[in-house]
């Protein structure tokens, strides 16, 4: 049985050119070129005005730039069959590895926490401080993800390092924020 539509939204520490993003999404979801839309968030209405009413893409991706330690937002709406192929965590891991980027996304973390995926697949939980314009993330290693040094040491406790990023949101005219 196929799931309904889903959305994979993330922040990337690396700005990805639209052509590279498109190629990644086509490969990641194993879809044809005509099943995918990729465009800037604020330009999508204009670009889509000539499509027949009710036309639906299998994957619909918008992206935009943000300030701070993250470079861009990526929002991907997908059909249920694609969510069955690639889950949310797997999508974030593939994106991080493919683009050598840090990826921030939210799914099933405890309240007020976010997941940051590093290019090597390591997951961090991030607590976010929000003053309305600036988001500060403090991260700790998720206990069930151990790096090679920890495994080599026989599973000794992971040394927790605090990392800090600042994500400054930009506001469009309608007041919507471009970052979570």
What pLDDT score does 156 carry? 43
- 79-108 tens-digit pLDDT: 888 988 899 999 999 999 999 999 989 877
Q: Backbone dihedral region of 100: left (phi > 0), alpha (psi from -120 to 50 degrees) or beta? A: left
122: nearest Cα among 85, 159, 74? 159
pLDDT at position 135 is: 54
Distances 76 to 59, 107, 122, 173 between C-alpha atoms, Å? 7, 14, 22, 22
78: phi then psi, degrees, rounded to nearest 5? -135, 155
pLDDT tens sequence across 110-130: 777 888 899 999 888 887 665
pLDDT at residue 17 in the model:
96
The pLDDT of residue 90 is 94
């Amino acid at each position: 049985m196929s799931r309904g539509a889903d959305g994979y939204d993330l922040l990337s520490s690396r700005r990805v050119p639209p052509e590279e993003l498109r190629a990644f999404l086509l490969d990641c979801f194993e879809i044809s070129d005509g099943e995918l839309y990729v465009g800037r968030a604020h330009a999508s209405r204009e670009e889509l005005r000539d499509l027949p009413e009710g036309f639906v893409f299998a994957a619909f991706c918008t992206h935009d730039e943000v300030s701070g330690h993250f470079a861009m937002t990526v929002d991907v709406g997908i059909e249920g069959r694609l969510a069955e192929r690639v889950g949310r965590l797997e999508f974030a891991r593939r994106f991080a590895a493919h683009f050598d980027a840090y990826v921030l996304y939210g799914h099933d973390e405890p309240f007020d926490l976010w997941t940051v995926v590093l290019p090597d697949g390591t997951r961090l939980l991030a607590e976010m401080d929000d003053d309305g314009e600036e988001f500060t993330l403090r991260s700790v290693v998720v206990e069930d993800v151990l790096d090679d040094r920890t495994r080599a040491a026989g599973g000794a406790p992971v040394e927790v390092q605090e990392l800090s990023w600042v994500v400054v949101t930009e506001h469009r005219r309608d007041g919507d924020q471009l970052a979570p």
